Homo-oligomer: A and B are copies of this chain.
């Protein structure tokens, strides 16, 4: 257990309005404590208590913070759009990569380090903080770790808590981001950058770690550049978080939370599959999180062998239409029904319909029509205005989905394609099509579709041993970068299919993974998302096996995440498959 830092009450700026510079930092006051430690402890389950005792495993090179030495590699460039990105980060572009080594311990002055959790929660967030806490307090017991409240808002409004050993001890290896909360605010405007700078200056921060996905880490880089430009001492570094696993590249082997979340969804999908084949009367349509990238759907398919699994990237690559997908599902159901199997499991990625050209065309025309309509139109009236192709699709949509598209609009008046519950859409369309085939005598089975959406259930699950070790290690790496005066880096660990003691810590400039994308009509430097590679090992393995899963029931259960026993350290299949390719290269 880490040494105890000075216990301190919660400190917040006096009700500073959101996004405004916090100018009243001297008037800090003591509000109710972050958490009533005794009360929190009373509410812990036996498993939560047992997990508090788990000591994350890490590379011994990270063991003595005062002995960590960062060795510089070659100067770096960006993977894409080098010149443009170099211009956007004139102070920090091209920094060398950093590897870790152990020297004789030096003396370190106490550090004041801040941490922000940004975006959707992911299993392991608390351990990043624990890793940072242990590192900075081991380095010098007078160090301070400040947790900014509720994401970037805490930075803007100088709302933070001083994290003491008692508080941190309550969250070791626990799920959730609730130790300090998370938020989605982006630091974009000059006033926001000023507010952040003001907070950091007032608190005399030596460093700041932003734990987040691609957007949040891109933001971290911009803040690092801004600080450098204004000659602040404060370093800014990032840690790669997102269950979607799309913050990944040559430097980042996996983003944290994916392992636990995918295991959780896969366990549910497997249970549904066994339910299907046990009760033999329903098709389960399971949508899983992952809007831009289908890594989660792919991992779940590899883990559970569903009868069908769609991959957004493949749908996009093949320009597969919604009607194509309906046909594929209907074909499967017809074929299985000939074998007496009127049940099955079908997995869909969250963003599925957004990748389909026919849906895209329909939505575009709907937006046009609805924007120019002077009064509310009936479905029939809208259908008549659509071009014949779009009209056919619109006619085929289940009532609930068509109504939702017509009635629910986003603040810009646009149809909300992201709100479509693809599993319900498919069940409705498949059901209609099967009813027609039945009339024609081409289908004799009985169809019952059950919709499921697996998303929020796993973002705050207790982290697997993998994620607990990974995030704790990332926390130590991030703290090491901070305490050694490095800025604009992302903390990484690689060699992840080996025991955690052999994972290799490193720091890479965030600019290395950036490219230029159009955002809100402007060029912006952002970390490039990693989508499913249709030539990559996980997809190739899936493509090889999936035909056999269609008619045979080869369902497989990874089971619930285990923290002890022979399977406690099994890592995701995607990671194993990718690592095996790297090893063979």
Residues on B with beta carbons closer than 8 Å to the beta carbon of A121: 274-275, 278-279
Residue contact A284 to B562, C-beta cutoff 8 Å: no
CB distance from A492 to the nearest CB of B (A): 24
In the bound complex, CA of A562 to CA of B555 (Å): 22
Asked if A275 and B456 make an inter-chain contact with CB atoms under 8 angstroms apart, the answer reads: yes
Residue of B nearest to A399 (CB): B403
* The residue from B50, B177, B275, B564 contacting A279, defined by CB atoms under 8 A apart: B177
Tell me whether A198 is interfacial, beta carbon within 8 Å. no
1/0 per residue, CB under 8 A from B, across A549-572: the answer is: 000111111111111111110100
Task: Please state if A272 and B562 are interface contacts (CB–CB under 8 Å).
Answer: no
A213 to chain B, nearest CB (A): 14
**Residues A48 and B399 in contact in the complex (CB < 8 Å), given A460-B278, A562-B562:** no
Binds B, one of A38-46, A103-111, A431-439, A523-531: A38-46
A380: min CB distance to chain B, Å:
15
* Residue numbers in B under 8 Å from A280 (CB-CB): 150, 181-183
Name the one of B50, B272, B554 contacting A565, with C-beta atoms under 8 angstroms: B50
Which residues of chain B come closer than 8 Å to A562, judged between CB atoms? Answer: 47, 560, 562-565
Whether A44 lies near B556 (C-beta < 8 A) is yes
Residues in B with CB closer than 8 Å to A39 are 552, 554
Residue of B with least CB distance to A53:
B566
A51 within 8 A of B: yes
In the assembled complex, 12 residue pairs joining A and B whose CB atoms fall closer than 8 Å, in A order, are: A43-B554, A47-B559, A47-B562, A50-B567, A51-B559, A120-B279, A177-B274, A271-B459, A399-B403, A450-B456, A562-B563, A562-B564
15 further A-B contacts with Cβ under 8 Å, apart from A175-B557, A560-B561, are A43-B556, A45-B557, A47-B562, A47-B570, A48-B559, A120-B279, A121-B274, A121-B275, A121-B278, A178-B553, A264-B271, A264-B560, A282-B456, A560-B562, A564-B565
Closest 9 CB pairs of A and B: A564-B565, A176-B274, A274-B460, A47-B559, A177-B278, A560-B560, A564-B564, A121-B278, A178-B277
